[in-house]
Amino acid sequence: MEVRPSWRGLAGIGTAVLICLPMQHTKDPLPPPSPPPTPDVRVEVKGEISLPPLLAGTFIATVKTWNTTAADERIGHERAAGLLLDAGVRRKSTGGCTDRRRPYCTSLEAIRYGTLMRTIDLRRDSGCPVTVTGGTETGHADGRYSHGNGYKVDLAHNRCLDAYITGVYRYWRTRADGAALYRAAPSDAGADIWADEPTHWDVLFR
């Protein structure tokens, strides 16, 4: 006897197979994990901060970054020259030398740390070119607050620096050699003194 398949029966079997297949549910992908919170890092800066020459003088400093309690310490020429270079302060010597024993040299040997850092502060506060032409070398007038004792520096004249000094500081009096003297408060005997000499500013940083 020939058996012929029934299409109705096959359809029923197919339906049963489809019903028996497990249903696959599409789940929404899980969101990516949140990044860990960024810690609040605070850095306290103490001591010296040396700026690259290209950055120095491009802003007005409002915070002193050096240890003022060490102002009276004496430092060597190499360290002093490096700090000036980092801050964009130039040095110039008539004889092209640094020997403290020769008056035509420009030496920073045994200069006061405070004198050096105040010179750097001037560069940053004024935004003007600053060139040191005299330091602790011999040939300057003697005295307690003298070049030789590390309290004074000579700074070359330029239009920007001249305008800054005469604008910020007040005329005090004229020195015996004819140099006009400026300082922040004429009545303050302990104030810094800026003497306007023909080729440079003779500056006393106390």
Instruction: Scan for tokens 């497990």, then name that residue.
Output: 22
Give residue 51's pLDDT: 44
Q: Tokens at residue 120, please?
A: 């750097």
Q: Where are the alpha helices (DSSP H) in the chain?
A: 7-20, 77-86, 113-126, 159-168
pLDDT at 44: 40
Tokens representing 164 are 């800054």
Q: What is the pLDDT of residue 180?
A: 98
- Please tell me the predicted confidence (pLDDT) of residue 34: 62
Q: What is the pLDDT of residue 189?
A: 77
Query: Given its phi and psi angles, is residue 98 left (phi above 0), alpha (psi -120 to 50 degrees) or beta?
Result: alpha
- Phi–psi pair at 155, nearest 5 degrees: -120, 130
The per-residue pLDDT for 18 is 42
Report the sign of the C-alpha dihedral through residues 56, 60, 62, 68, in that order. Answer: positive
* Residue 110 and residue 74 in contact, taking contact as beta carbons nearer than 8 Å: yes
Cα dihedral 132/136/138/141 (nearest 10): 90
For the question of whether the overall pTM of this predicted structure is more than 0.75, the answer is: no
Structure tokens at 23: 């249903």
Q: Would you write out the chain's pLDDT as a tens digit for each of its 206 residues?
A: 555 555 454 444 444 444 444 555 555 556 566 666 554 444 444 444 444 444 444 433 434 578 999 999 999 999 999 999 999 999 999 999 999 999 999 999 999 999 999 999 999 999 999 999 999 999 999 899 999 999 999 999 999 999 999 999 999 999 999 999 999 887 777 889 999 999 999 999 99
Q: Which of 33, 66, 37, 31 is nearest to 51 (CA)?
A: 66
Q: How far is the CA of 72 from the CAs of 57, 91, 162, 180, in angstroms? A: 25, 22, 27, 27
